[in-house]
Amino acid sequence: MGRALLDAAAGRTDVKITAAVDRPDAGGLGTQVTDGVAASADLVSGLDAADVYIDFTSPASTRAAAQAAHASKRPAVIGTTGLSAADDAVIAQLATVAPIVVAANFSLGVNLLLGLVQQAARALGPDWDAEVVETHHRAKRDAPSGTALMIAHAIAAGHGSRYDEVKRHTRDGDVGARPRGEIGVASVRGGDVIGEHTATFFGSAERIEISHRATSRAIFAAGALRAAAWVVGKPPGRYDMLDVLGLK
């Protein structure tokens, strides 16, 4: 994603890369990654050089960046997935002093899909069985994907139910008959798949599928840069891509 962001920013006039921060043990530190910018492990200097920072890293790195950004009230765009409750708490603290956009997926298509899925769930109701299947490359660490969870939460919102009370993440062994209103989520890992998500609603003698397939990380980078340009100057608080796209 770091390389995708650098490529997406090239030639744009509304955003400019001013720093690139990587792990202390990363290869290529000190190498120029774009005009006038060399990769560095100095997080504080990187934050000081920017009006807003974009974070697609790991939960631990995201937590460290949010803690460092709190003092300078630096706006943020955060796309890291697999965050824990403790990570979310640190992000929430940053949102009290700075505007931040947090999303598991910055694709325009995915965010439109969320609205369609919630509308379908509301119209069909919990009598239609709802399942989400996500597929990603073999190196992805978290499961279910953040996007799959966003879709599943959208279904629960459409049903008017509490997600934690109806979720079923994969199935194994004798789990019994599927209860009314359950929302299933299954994860597939293999190859170099960038990201595929399908929400399926099963009725009696009919089925509805709503899918999104990403074929390039450029769509996520473009969305993150759009969010970065949008969030600067906004009041402190936590926003998402629906806010950025004006879909709320």
Residue 128 CB neighbour total at 10 angstroms: 21
Q: What's the CA gap between 116 and 122, in Å, rounded?
A: 10
pLDDT at res. 242 = 86
Beta-bridged to residue 101, according to DSSP, are 77, 239
Whether residue 103 contacts residue 113, with contact meaning beta carbons closer than 8 Å, is answered with: no
- How would residue 110 be classed by pLDDT, with cut points 50, 70 and 90? very high
Quick one: tokens of 105?
């997926």
Is residue 104 scored above 90 in pLDDT?
no
Q: What percent of the chain shows pLDDT beyond 70?
A: 100
Q: What is the dihedral of CA 63, 66, 71, 76, to 10 degrees?
A: 180
Is residue 82 scored above 90 in pLDDT?
no
Residue found under tokens 């720093």: 19
Q: What's the CA gap between 113 and 215, in Å, rounded?
A: 16
Structural domains of the chain in order of their starting residue, each with its CATH number: 2-102+217-244 (3.40.50.720), 108-214 (3.30.360.10)
Catalytic residue from among 70, 137, 140, 159: 140
Mean pLDDT over each residue of the chain, to the nearest integer = 94
Could you confirm whether 136 is annotated as catalytic? yes
Quick one: tokens of 210?
């709503």
Is residue 247 scored above 80 in pLDDT?
no
pTM of the shown model: 0.77
Catalytic residue from among 16, 73, 136, 212: 136
Could you confirm whether 140 is annotated as catalytic? yes
